[in-house]
């Protein structure tokens, strides 16, 4: 099954539920049927979970005959997103000419002008919209993607509890952006970045022109009452539903705590800023954290120092360029991107031959593909799903394996 086929299967299942249960459907928010990031608002949350679990169990049925996979719901089903990118567009053919929002479902070039968005906190959305409205009042325009010209391209929010970062992405260095930054400071953002992207590549990322406030925002996470502080910058990858990811970490912590790993090495591969290595460092003799993005590794070093973690070693390397020495008395945690481990990642694991392999996946299709190879040498001990993206088709999976 491909990713498109999996999505189609989910789509059929949800539409079948709608057809058979019209009396139970919810109204949804103002824009849920127009944008692609809130597809399931009309279905009661317990039913969203039930349908996802059924489809996932069917997908993994060849691997889980003796297991009982189940899905964990998110503590928050709205206002949960850590990061949201809002497109700022300009199109002189259709009013309003300037728009702030997200792509229309099925039409990448059309931006739905939003005055609410249920997946981030109301107050922080209001501030983001105020920044945009002030930009327009200064005479700055959004970006015309068809003509590749304009002023303001993206307004990106990173927000969790008391920490907030605003990222303004422009096409140029118009002096009026300094006024916009001053206005955003008054609104109370802890960190404000101004980036410039003058390329045809449609992205919020770009060259840093200026920043105000703190360089990194602090993200506190609590695992079994233990507090860990993480730092996030404008380009840092971090989990987008921290509330639900804490549930996953607590579940995994119970397994790791139940084992005797104090003499073992933990390989934290595709590590980002080293979240897993830092959270579970106390259970292992030493940690080796590897990621391709040097900025993430540099930030991971700062975070480990912030949390007084002394047994962790970071390395900025591309997994595809690495070879590993056999270490059968070890544990490997992998959290790869959506395309999964791919051939080289699988080779690396087989080179290490760890006693335990823990696989966190944001794509069940590539997880299944990788399991076809991994289960030649590993038994699946546990498989659980975590609904890190309520109102969407996406889930996070946790698979714990042991060498045969």
- Is 396 an annotated catalytic residue? yes
Catalytic residue among 41, 121, 355, 396: 396
What would the mean pLDDT of 192-203 be, rounded to a whole number?
95
Angle (nearest 5°) at CA 119 between 113 and 122: 75
Catalytic residue among 121, 244, 362, 399: 362
Q: Which DSSP string do the residues of 205-262 spell out, in sequence order?
A: --EEEEEEE-SSEEEEEEETTEEEEEEE-TT----S-HHHHHHHHHHHHHHHHHS--T
Place of tokens 């944001």: 362
Band the pLDDT of 66: cuts 50, 70, 90.
low
Instruction: Decide: 158 and 167 in contact? Cβ < 8 Å.
Output: yes
Backbone angles phi, psi at 356, to 5 degrees: -125, 145
Band the pLDDT of 39: cuts 50, 70, 90.
very high
The pLDDT tens digits of the residues spanning 245-286 come to: 999 999 999 999 999 999 999 999 999 999 999 999 999 999
Q: Residue 33: CA atoms inside 13 Å, Cβ hemisphere, count? A: 6
What would the mean pLDDT of 382-395 be, rounded to a whole number?
95
- Picking from 403, 391, 100, the residue whose alpha carbon sits closest to that of residue 241 is 391
Global confidence as pTM? 0.94
Task: Please report, for the chain, the start and end positions of each structural domain, with discontinuous segments joined by +.
Answer: 83-218
The pLDDT tens digits of the residues spanning 299-354 come to: 999 999 999 999 999 999 988 888 889 999 999 999 998 888 988 889 989 999 99
Residues of 72-81 as b/e, b for ≥16 C-beta within 10 angstroms? Answer: bbbeebbbbb
Domain 83-218 is in which class?
mainly beta
- Is 353 an annotated catalytic residue? no
């Amino acid at each position: 099954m491909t990713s498109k086929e999996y999505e189609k299967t989910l789509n059929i299942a949800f539409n079948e539920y709608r057809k058979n249960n019209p009396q139970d459907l919810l109204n949804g928010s103002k824009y849920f049927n127009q944008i692609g990031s809130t597809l399931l608002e009309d279905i009661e949350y317990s039913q969203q979970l039930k349908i996802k679990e059924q489809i996932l169990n069917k997908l993994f049925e060849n691997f889980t005959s003796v297991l009982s996979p189940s899905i964990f719901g998110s503590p928050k089903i709205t206002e949960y997103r850590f990061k949201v990118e809002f497109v700022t567009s300009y199109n002189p053919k259709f009013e309003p000419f300037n728009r702030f929002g997200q792509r229309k479902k099925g039409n990448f070039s059309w931006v739905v002008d939003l005055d609410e968005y249920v997946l981030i906190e109301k107050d922080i959305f209001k501030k983001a919209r105020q920044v945009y409205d002030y930009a327009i009042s200064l005479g700055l325009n959004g970006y015309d993607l068809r003509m590749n010209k304009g002023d303001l391209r993206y307004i990106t929010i990173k927000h969790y509890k008391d920490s907030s970062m605003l990222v303004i992405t422009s096409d140029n260095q118009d002096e009026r952006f300094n006024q916009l930054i001053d206005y955003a400071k008054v609104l109370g953002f802890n960190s404000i970045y101004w980036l410039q992207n003058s390329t045809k590549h449609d992205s919020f990322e770009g060259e840093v022109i200026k920043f105000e406030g703190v360089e990194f925002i602090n993200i506190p996470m609590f695992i079994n009452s233990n507090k860990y502080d993480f730092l996030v910058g404008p380009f840092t990858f971090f989990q987008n539903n921290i509330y639900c990811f804490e549930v996953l970490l607590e579940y995994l912590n119970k397994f790791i705590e139940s084992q005797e790993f104090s003499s073992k090495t933990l390989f934290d591969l595709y590590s980002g800023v080293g979240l897993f290595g830092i959270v579970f460092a106390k259970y292992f003799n030493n940690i080796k954290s590897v990621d391709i993005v040097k900025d993430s590794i540099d930030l991971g070093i700062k975070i480990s120092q912030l949390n007084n973690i002394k047994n962790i070693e970071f390395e900025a390397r591309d997994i595809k360029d690495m070879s590993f020495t056999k270490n059968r008395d070890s544990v490997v945690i992998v959290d790869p991107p959506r395309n999964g481990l791919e051939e080289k990642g699988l080779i690396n694991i087989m080179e290490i031959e760890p006693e335990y392999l823990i696989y966190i996946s944001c794509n069940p299709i590539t997880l299944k593909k990788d399991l076809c190879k991994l289960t030649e040498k590993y038994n699946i001990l546990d498989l659980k799903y975590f609904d890190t993206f309520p109102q969407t088709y996406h889930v996070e999976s946790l698979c714990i394996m042991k060498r045969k």
